[in-house]
Structures are given as structure tokens and as C-alpha cells.
Structure 1
């Protein structure tokens, strides 16, 4: 669920710059607020918690009234990303959300799996002013991708990109990027990604390793090294990705990548110091890993052991969404989280593969 950023922060702020919550016109001064407009999805990707926890998964759409009510607090945010653990184009009000966010002066992005995306719906989203559109892949051919991203076919992504290009003569179109999931068993396929991007006419891509493993097999696919042999393999792959990104740059393609390192880092590619996530249920979390839409206990794998998933929520938006969102961003729970994040983070962060990753 990574959101690409043009520039990464080299240091963390203790707290975001905010007007005082509760005062009229209180605004968040954050880089990104991610709004998970729905937790429903029409795909069954083999690595996704939505697939692995299907019996516990809570399928829910964001209430349009809640979105409208929180907008006043978002006017100071640099960007709003309308996507979380589901497929955003399944929400019947997505185009309205884009229009409302643009009227509020926000830069608007989203990411789609491209599965059975209606051309009229796509055109309406573009006409509403969508600024950035990410498209998810996990292979450079239909055979590779479709075996992993079940019901999210490679063909759908290709068609969506072609349709966006076809609209360029009529109106400004969103910037496109490929959000590529690199699994350990298919890591060599990544080296053909720049050629695919050139063929599709997409000049920006982000390659990510798996950041959450719902079972033991998927932990092996995540590339977090657990022994010397795996460390050597990962170092070799990192070197090859660096060389690939340099070669891609000569083709006019910006290729970024996030791969794990053996040691846990003090920073996090989710940029928790300058962003927040609002779930479809109105719960506010530091990142998408902080609140999976599941009921009851669920378990994941980290460092060769099965761990109990521990959610982290700052607040729930209900009576006063704008005020509560501002309070969640500057309140005691988030201040304490940011104060301890580098050296004494909560257990949920200590068990997160994302803490091993560095954006490059």
C-alpha cells in the first residue's frame, strides 16, 4: 500500500504543524492524508490480507457524509490519497470524492488494480481532476501477473493506461505510475519492468517488497533476510536494482524501489511523521499497517515466528470529524507515538517489515 513520494524526509518532526484543534478553521499541515474509501475489493491477490483473512475481513464503504465533514480539516494537506486496503473504484461516490477534494484545493491521487474498470467511470474520475493514478502489478506479463493478482488481470492495467492516454487530447490527465509488488520467487522478472513501462508509456514506477506476511509461505516471499545466505541474495538483488534504476533513468524512466535490510531502521517508508490514514470505518491510524479492517484476532509472520496482529488507532471520527481528525493529528496518543517511534516504538512497529525498508 505504498504511496510514492517525490522527496523523502531525512528527519522526523516531533509533531505536525497544526492550528490548535477545536478552534474554527483548524487545519492539518501534513504531507499526505490517506483515506481508505472502501475495504471491498474485486481481486484475490495471493499475498493480500484481504484474501488471507477473508473470513474475518470487514467489507465497508466510507460514508460520503463523513468524507464531506472531514474536508475542512484537510485544506492544509499537500495531498489526499483515496485508497487503502480495497479497490477505490468500487465506491459509488469516488468521483464525487475527487471533485470535493479538488474544490478544497487538494492534490488528489489513488491506486487501482484496473480490474473491469468501466471506461465511463475512469473518464469521469479524470474529468473530476484526478492528479495521480497508480496501477498495481506483480508481473511483467499476463502469465506472471495473473497467477499472483487473481481477478486483477494484466490486460485490465494495460487497457486502463491506454484509456488514460487516449483522453489526453481532450483534457489534462493524471500522472501515471506502476506500483509493482516484487515477490522473492519472481524477483528476476523485475528487470524487465522498464521495458514494459516504456511500451505502456509510463515513466514512473515504484517496486516494493511484501511488507506484511499473513502466513509462513508469504514471509519467505517477503525477502526479509533471516540467515547469511538470504543476506547475500538480498545484497545482490539490491545491487542489481540500483543498476536497473540507473539504466532506466537513461530511458527517461524514474524507477524507485523499497527493499528490506536485515536490521530494523529508525525511520519508516510510510512517513508516519508527516501523514495519517483514515479507514473506511472512520478510524485514524499512523499508516495502513496500523488498522487492518478485520474482526477478532488475526496472526502474521515476522522473523520466523507467528505474531498476533496489534492494531494502532489514534481516534474514531464520528460526531465532529474535522475537529476529531485535527485532534488525532496533534493529540497525546500521536505525540507519544512520534516521541518514541525512533528508539522505543510500540510492539506493532517492532513486528513490521516496513521498519526494515528504505525508499531508494
Structure 2
């Protein structure tokens, strides 16, 4: 489905990422995800999905991540939803726990999704079982191998879980993934505490940065940066100094725009895809004050001050440079 969206009129002149939640239901019970806060897990209707697609333009949106707080591969209309995004001018990525990524789904999403990001905690089955609760470790590993073999147009990446108990087995996990031919390995330098709701031990950002550098991983903090110019514009245009909130628009499975992607309970709605454009929602949000229950305990609100922005920008520039070198070598 190809959609023509309105040009930018308000809400700033920078581009954003959109987090699209096909479902708030999940087949996993991971301890780092406080899913008990979602009172009414649901599935996105196809009408809402198509309405959202009609709101997206590459002038406003540089990336759509199909994720949310559920597992997109569990949606009963998975194949139709994938078909709907074919031919759309905006880039689409998908995050999955990998449990249901069978060959049929992999072949169907190949080329429609630009980056398939599979969350994986450890090669150690005991660690994996404690972190990715309710998932089959061997099955996920087999699906990762199948994805590496079958995907021709979609790039496979692995998101390594930055929890303290995953770190001792991290070298062996990385070795196994690279032995399968998976080159894009990512990790966040911050274990997001989900607006203060996460109770797990939080490794220090400096520790995670050191691991990212030592193992030559891609830092996920640069994934929200469409470009240095857009980042600067975003920082200058927003009176609310929270980069993660400002660069991401979360669309729930109900088709509702949420104030922040850390609103796990889906309680703070600021619009709906059926009636509101992205520009209207961005302008509305820019006029809103911090929401205490979301912002006060969040470890992301003050995450990117001037110094941190410089470090993120440096990481972004380095990744772009190294990506260019890789392209030249393979040409």
C-alpha cells in the first residue's frame, strides 16, 4: 500500500521515529518488561494500521519500528499487515523475540522490512530461560539460523540484552552469533527502566559502553538519530528537553498516539490515527508539561544533555563512516 501523507506544517521541522504496536499481547514473560501494567492487551485492527500508514511521510518520519509492548509475529493478520506496507516510501523495521519467526514469516517479510531485530539474551539456556521467560531457546536459535540463511533483502540484526546476568556469557553469545554469519550485533548502553517501573539491577552505562566498544557492537543509542542536523533541530525546537520523548511517537495497538513510549499502561493518550496527523500530535505534545508518573522516575529524561549528545553524535558519525568503508570494500 502506498500512501500520500500531508507535508509538514507544525510540530518542528525535524524528523522522528514512529513505534508502531501491532499488538500489546506477547508470548513472552520477560522480567525486564512490566507487562502487568497493560490492563487490556489488544490487537491492532487493520483499519487503524492502514490509517497510520496514511499518516506517514519520509519528510516527517525517518523510520517506523514495528514493536511496541507485544510480539508482532503473534498478530493473526501478520501476513496482511506486512503486505500493506509494501511500496510505502518510509523505512520499516521490526523487533521480535524470534520464537515464531518460522520460514514462512521470514520469506514473507523479506524485502518489506529493512531491518529485522531479534532480541536475544544469552547462548546459555539457563540464562536465556530466566530472561526470555516462556520462549524456547533452541527454537529461537534455529530461527536465527534460518533468518540468516533465507533473508536476501532484509538485514538481520541481534539486540543483545543489557541485563547484569547476561553479561558473563556475552563473549560466548557473540562468538556463536558471528559463527552463524550475523554481523550486526547491537546493544543499548542503558537498561531502560521504563519510566521507573523496572526493578531489575541496572548495569552502569559506562560498563555497557566499554562492552560495546570491546566487542565491536553497534550502540543502539544512535538508532534514534536520523542525522546530525535533525538532532540539532530537535534539541533547539523543543522546550521539553527529553530527546527520547521528542524523537519517538508511539502508536498503540488501539491506534492511539501516546504521550511517551514509556507509558506502558497506555494511559496518556494524545490523539488517534483516525482523526489526528503526526504534526497535530507533535504540536499538542510540545505544549504539554511533564507527567509525574512517567517522568519523575525515568532514567531517560535527562539521559541526553549536551555532553551526552556529543557522544551520541560521535557514535553516529563513526557508524556512518564505518558503514561507508564496508560498502566500499564490498563494491
Matched, 1:155 2:122: no
Residue 62 of structure 1: how far off its partner (Å): 0.7
Aligned to 1:263: none
Matched, 1:91 2:91: no
Per-residue displacement from partner, 1:338-360 (whole Å, max 9, x unpaired)?
xx6xxxx4422222122364666
CA distance in 2, matches of 1:220, 1:106: 36
3-state secondary structure, aligned to 1:111: strand
Task: Find the partner of 2:53 among 68, 71, 86.
Answer: 71
The 5 A counterparts of 1:195-234 are 195-208=175-188, 209-212=190-193, 219-223=199-203, 234=204
Matched, 1:140 2:119: no
Residue 328 of structure 1: how far off its partner (Å): 1.1
TM-score norm. by structure 1 comes to 0.67
Aligned to 1:62: 44
Equivalences, count? 279
| Counterpart contact for 2:23–2:43, Cα < 8 Å | yes
Matched, 1:180 2:152: no
Per-residue displacement from partner, 1:248-283 (whole Å, max 9, x unpaired)?
33xxxx33266xxxxxxx96563x323211000121
Higher strand share: 1
Which runs of 5 or more structure 2 residues have no equivalent in the other structure?
Answer: 1-5, 222-239, 305-311, 316-331
3-state secondary structure, aligned to 1:43: coil
Residue 57 of structure 1: how far off its partner (Å): 3.1
3-state secondary structure, aligned to 1:273: helix
Residue 193 of structure 1: how far off its partner (Å): 4.1
Instruction: Describe the shift of the 1:193–1:79 C-alpha distance in structure 2 as closer, same or farther (beyond 3 A).
Output: same
3-state secondary structure, aligned to 2:300: helix
Matched, 1:165 2:148: yes
Residue 80 of structure 1: how far off its partner (Å): 1.4
CA distance in 2, matches of 1:36, 1:243: 32
| Counterpart contact for 2:23–2:68, Cα < 8 Å | yes
Instruction: Describe the shift of the 1:174–1:242 C-alpha distance in structure 2 as closer, same or farther (beyond 3 A).
Output: same
Instruction: Describe the shift of the 1:156–1:357 C-alpha distance in structure 2 as closer, same or farther (beyond 3 A).
Output: farther
Residue 329 of structure 1: how far off its partner (Å): 2.4
Matched, 1:353 2:294: no
Task: Find the partner of 1:290 among 259, 263, 270.
Answer: 263
CA distance in 2, matches of 1:325, 1:244: 37
Task: Find the partner of 2:287 among 317, 326, 336.
Answer: 336
3-state secondary structure, aligned to 1:206: strand
3-state secondary structure, aligned to 2:168: helix
Aligned to 2:326: none
Matched, 1:255 2:239: no
Say what the alpha-carbon RMSD is for the aligned residues. Answer: 3.2
Instruction: Describe the shift of the 1:257–1:167 C-alpha distance in structure 2 as closer, same or farther (beyond 3 A).
Output: closer
CA distance in 2, matches of 1:95, 1:120: 10
Which runs of 5 or more structure 1 residues have no equivalent in the other structure?
Answer: 1-16, 22-27, 224-233, 259-265, 294-310
Aligned to 1:114: 98
CA distance in 2, matches of 1:244, 1:45: 23
TM-score norm. by structure 2 comes to 0.72
CA distance in 1, matches of 2:52, 2:110: 23
